[in-house]
Amino acid sequence: MSEVLLEVVDAEFRYARGLPPAATGINLQVRPGDSVGIVGESGSGKTTVGRGLVGSLFPSSGSVLVQGRGWKGVRRRDPVRRIVQMVFQDPYASLNPMLSAQATVAEVIRVWDGAKPSVAASRAEQVLAEVGLTGEVIRRRPALLSGGQRQRVGIARALACEPQVLVADEPTSALDVSVQANVLNLLLDLKASRGLALVLISHDLSVVDYLTDRALVMLNGEVVEHGDTHTLLQNPSHEYTKTLISSIPGSSLANA
Ligand SMILES: Nc1ncnc2c1ncn2[C@@H]1O[C@H](COP(=O)(O)OP(=O)(O)OP(=O)(O)O)[C@@H](O)[C@H]1O
Ligand SMILES: [Mg+2]
């Protein structure tokens, strides 16, 4: 078996002492090339787990290990931070409005690799081409890009760190239906071409079914079901999973 890149062991996450945990009993292993879905209704704890995976939230108990190390104590510029990168739901809010697409990506390359500005700019051009952005478009600021183009910039920015795991939190839910499939297919292509592992967070089971091999189903901060994505969909054992499936348009359980 290949090495474990990211491991969550019986983790619980809380935002404040007095509050109930936002997620609890979380266990997950991510190896190179894996694709794992985290699915559940709004407020079920998906983003909380995603934040735990990238180290922006520490577990209140249990552990999150990246290549065997806990996030606590990992400095801002520790190379281990490159391994897991996040793609956010709202590309507009997560991009600097003052920077062009190329400058956004070049900045990451400059900071992480200490590359000279001219070198960083040309490497940024290559990464942007990898996500399908070429020509004068890469010199535009976010306000002059479409939603789909902005999300491609967000993906390129994550790739600029040369990550091994991408955690994508609802990467298409802010996008027009017509471009959602393009961005999902881009993630699939990058997964194949770069050998990336993907953790896909979505409330949409059909998206999780399309992109992932394994999935966790969350409800009220707990994992109520996990396993092979297709098996889960074909043969849900938890009532809640059945309810989620029945909400997929065209699902055989849709009218059940
Ligand atoms: N910064 C925060 N401070 C306090 N509580 C929070 C914070 N962020 C989330 N929560 C709470 O943690 C729980 C899980 O929220 P989380 O954002 O992980 O859900 P989610 O599954 O990602 O939902 P959505 O599908 O709406 O994005 C919710 O009860 C939420 O109110
Ligand atoms: Mg969320």
Give residue 195 CA to ligand 2 midpoint distance, Å: 26
Read off the pTM. 0.94
Indicate if ligand 1 lies below 6 Å from the C-beta of 46. yes
Counting ligands in written order, the one closest to the CA of 17 is 1
Determine whether the shortest distance from the Cβ of 215 to ligand 1 is under 6 A: no
**254 pLDDT above the threshold of 60:** no
Is the beta carbon of 255 within 6 A of some atom in ligand 1? Answer: no
Of the given ranges (69-78, 164-173, 187-196), which has the lowest mean pLDDT? 69-78
- 4-48: per-residue pLDDT in tens? 999 999 999 999 988 999 999 999 999 999 999 999 999 999 999
* Distance separating alpha carbons of residues 112 and 122, to the nearest angstrom: 15
**Residue bearing tokens 């017509």:** 178
Query: CA dist 71 to 57, 84, 190, Å?
Result: 9, 11, 26
101 closest CA partner among 76, 81, 119, 126: 126
Residue with tokens 């879905």: 37
Q: Which ligand is nearest to the CA of 24?
A: 1
Look up tokens 């992109």; give the residue: 211
Probe target for ligand 1 pocket from 47, 51, 205, with the most ligand atoms within 8 Å of CB: 47
Residue 249 reports pLDDT greater than 70: no
List beta partners, residue 38.
Answer: 201, 216
Domains of the chain and CATH, by start? 1-83+165-255 (3.40.50.300), 85-162 (no CATH)
Closest ligand to the CA of 218: 1
**3-class secondary structure, 194:** helix
pLDDT of residue 219: 95
Helices (H), the chain: 46-54, 91-94, 101-113, 117-130, 147-159, 177-194, 205-211, 229-234, 239-246
* Cα dihedral value 87, 89, 94, 99, nearest 10: 80
Q: Residue 42: what are its φ and ψ, rounded to 5°?
A: -60, 135
Does any ligand 1 atom lie closer than 6 A to the CB of residue 90? no
| Length of the chain counted residue by residue | 256
Determine whether the shortest distance from the Cβ of 118 to ligand 1 is under 6 A.
no
